[in-house]
Structure 1
């Protein structure tokens, strides 16, 4: 307990407590960076493609606080997700452009230059007049919605609702590994899976493809909630997932993996990070006629809108979901659902508490400096993730912060272990 298996490579993703809102006066001498600078450094794409489309620029306009609820953040660290790789190739472009600006789609406007990067940890430098949860100088973390300009830049703007105070025990590099997978996992497990802190105790959950960002976060969250967690991953990831709390591990590369799963007690919830053929056998592992749920994070929605157009693609995806849901509920009484990322700052507030309590640890597999973003993308494209790949945008004091964070997390883990031992003795 409290031990994090991190393989770092230094190279050249229900019911939540309400936030406490404080009203803090602004001061006339506070000047936003956007008033001092007009351009910033960023990695952008000017077209969709694979190799060579990522470009470094120092002429990206600095974003400004455009509404009363927006927050301008100086990015200290960002991290990559498989979605960034897909978006670089044009995945989801039609639906995301519609979400960015419906009128611009009708007018044929371009989304370029486009900044990728879905996670941010940094410092607030400017706020809209209605923002009360954070103030300039606060250290925050957030998941950047895919329809917004991303975090592979010096600055990014988000709404107050999307932003949360960074865990005190984490450095920016560590913190940047969590928000997007956390919001994705919580949306899938809570909104689609029906689980929460009060209902997950002793529930049996299966996570497929558990060694990536969403999987490693979900294991820790579910264990903090008291669930029994079984995972599938490759054999060389077993130490990682067991170290994070997985109760049972099945090597999906073994020829008898499905037989091993079928021999186990059936599950209440399955979180599928793999998709494809997994759907064909996974629903059969759920408890029949007991409200069990299969939740997949691999839906065809964006692929179908890309290939068929917005209207036809959404219609086809909707029909596919309806047919599969009806087939499963009629045949064995299980629910078939899609899970999606959903922006949720208040949820990150709760995650922050779990991190500072030592119940959730960052899993950072690789780190890259801001100058080597293309190499970071290549690392993620290679697949077989063991946690997250992080980009250090600001190098200044993160190493000192990481050392302090490790010391504090060790103390938190020791305290948690002592509490468990006392509870056992009593």
Structure 2
């Protein structure tokens, strides 16, 4: 049922939206729009922070047409943190004042705004040890890293095998989480990144780090000669022919940004019962994973590395920085008071 806090919610809010596909950062406009209302099993959140992921600007670019965006104008971004200010019918796990992390519905977005509606089943409580910015970084990036590692065979309860994994583009949003999660699972980690981030990636636990611009890095070969049981592939432009020689007999390359060629290659591997396989991964959002990840931040077992922070009024600058593709960690938009 609605709470007393609902009476404090204004009729309108500032939000950043685009009116057409294409346009990049220049296509984003700061507007005043009505505050949405929480329907059945939904929460109305006053947002404190949101994180931009590459999928957000790929949607704007039209790469996921005709599925996304569902309708225009569109307020992008799904990964947010904030405070519950109202609850819809059927919600019994939250109340006004709860600090939370949420992943908004991809069809409707809404994260670049002062208020947003979130589904109860993709919202988790955020303990005081986890800041809004740290929590907002989790849903897509850390969730993808977690599911990719599980697909390889990583376990986080101490029962897993000591697998060898490669993480490409390890200094990006997904990669930095993947390195930390892989070490929590007891895996041997080889990682690739640019020279300026080698020490950072090592500090997160990577056993071997390759500068992708060197010949050794381009070949992806482990300095210790280990073959990889799995690859969390966060980069683009690396062919299967490069991966195949460095994989163990039943190695898997988990491609988190699969293109049409990768999907065809994966299908071919399936029908030919290939022992080494390319596996496309699309995130399957769920509450249990998000609770697990928030818990790791709370306990200090993992951290969100933040590249930069921008106020909502400068969201277009944050958007442009993400498109450039050189961020080290998460790009955060913070909602000013």
Provide the TM-score with structure 2 as the length reference.
0.91
Residues 1:260 and 1:225: Cα distance change in structure 2 (over 3 Å): closer
Alignment correspondent of 1:299:
258
1:196 aligns with 2:155: yes
1:322 aligns with 2:267: yes
Once the two structures are TM-superposed, the CA of residue 318 in structure 1 deviates from its matched residue by 6.2
1:393 aligns with 2:335: yes
CA contact (8 A) 1:275 1:297 kept: no
Q: Distance in 1 between matches of 2:9 and 2:294?
A: 32
Q: Distance in 1 between matches of 2:183 and 2:297?
A: 13
Which one of 22, 34, 46 corresponds to residue 49 of structure 1? Answer: 22
Q: Distance in 2 between matches of 1:377 and 1:189?
A: 28
Deviations 1:46-98 (A, max 9, x none): 0011242101101x22111122x11211110111111122222122021235x
Alignment correspondent of 1:273:
234
Alignment correspondent of 1:113:
73
Once the two structures are TM-superposed, the CA of residue 259 in structure 1 deviates from its matched residue by 4.8
CA contact (8 A) 1:325 1:337 kept: no
Which one of 83, 87, 93 corresponds to residue 123 of structure 1? Answer: 83
Alignment correspondent of 1:372:
314
1:179 aligns with 2:139: yes
Residues 1:253 and 1:138: Cα distance change in structure 2 (over 3 Å): same
When the two structures are aligned, how many residues end up with a matched partner?
334
Alignment correspondent of 2:38:
65
CA contact (8 A) 2:192 2:211 kept: yes
CA contact (8 A) 2:39 2:89 kept: no
Q: Please, what is the CA RMSD of the aligned residues?
A: 2.2
- Aligned to 1:292, the other structure's residue is in SS state strand
Q: Distance in 2 between matches of 1:338 and 1:134?
A: 35
Q: Kindly indicate whether structure 1 or structure 2 has the higher relative contact order, using CA contacts under 8 Å at least 6 residues apart.
A: 1
- Aligned to 1:96, the other structure's residue is in SS state coil
CA contact (8 A) 1:161 1:345 kept: yes
Q: Distance in 1 between matches of 2:73 and 2:200?
A: 38
CA contact (8 A) 2:3 2:96 kept: no
Residues 1:232 and 1:36: Cα distance change in structure 2 (over 3 Å): closer
Residues 1:347 and 1:96: Cα distance change in structure 2 (over 3 Å): same
Q: Distance in 2 between matches of 1:362 and 1:170?
A: 10
Once the two structures are TM-superposed, the CA of residue 324 in structure 1 deviates from its matched residue by 3.9
Gaps of 5+ in 2: none
Poorly superposed stretches of 4+, deviation over 4 Å? 316-320
Largest Rg, 1 or 2: 1
Provide the TM-score with structure 1 as the length reference.
0.73
Q: Distance in 1 between matches of 2:137 and 2:90?
A: 29
Q: Distance in 1 between matches of 2:182 and 2:50?
A: 25
Which is worse superposed, 41-50 or 200-209? 200-209
